[in-house]
Amino acid sequence: MSASKKSRPRQRGAGVEGSPPFVGALLRLCWRRVRDRMHEAVRVAGFTDLQDPHLSVFSYPLPDGVRPSALAHRIGMSRQATNYLITQMEALGYLERRATEGGGERRLVHLTERGWQVGEVIFACLRDLQAEWAEAIGPERFDDFMDVLRRLAADEQQVLSSQ
């Protein structure tokens, strides 16, 4: 078969209206850009001991007075893995577990001052990134984009705020 007649592997559905990449892939690609920028901002700010799993703890909303099991659900990890991660981050000085006000053995996860500093670095990075994207596509389109994302995320936000 000549080189011109060789067929390239083709994805199913390719070339059809509504074909890949689908919304999940596009969101993942955008998320990768966001995550890479956050990693770089945190590293440049001097928090070089944080790795990718650690940064997941700083996802919205920040963990201030959250149960370890709720944090595990929020970041999509098992409770055992999350407890290991919390222990690591306590040793690094970013998190602490405190007893609840009612006493007992139940302890909640809180950010330390160092943890709050990382949160501020991430928030500043995200504000800068949002400004860049708004400039790239226009402020009105970016506002519409954010409105759509808020609407699509509304149910999940309610779940997170109730934890």
Residues 97, 64, 79, CA angle at the centre, nearest 5°?
A: 60
**What was the pLDDT predicted at 100?**
83
Which range marks the domain in which residue 55 is found? 34-161
Choose among 128, 54, 67, 108: nearest CA to 120. 128
The answer to whether residue 3 sits within a structural domain is no
Q: Categorize the per-residue pLDDT at 33 as very low, low, confident or very high, splitting at 50, 70 and 90.
A: very high
Residue 153 lies in a domain: yes
> Model confidence over 121-139: pLDDT tens digits?
999 999 999 999 999 999 9
- The pLDDT confidence band at residue 101, using thresholds 50, 70 and 90, is confident
Would 144 be classed as within a structural domain?
A: yes
Over residues 87-108, the mean pLDDT reads 90
Residue 82: CATH number of its domain: 1.10.10.10
- Taking phi over 0 as left and psi of -120 to 50 as alpha, with beta for the rest, 18 belongs to left
27 in a domain, yes or no? no
Is residue 111 within 8 A of residue 63, CB to CB? The reply is yes
Please indicate, yes or no, if residue 13 is contained in any of the structural domains: no
Can you tell me the distance from the alpha carbon of 99 to that of 37, in angstroms, rounded to the nearest whole number?
A: 35
- pTM beyond 0.85: the answer is no
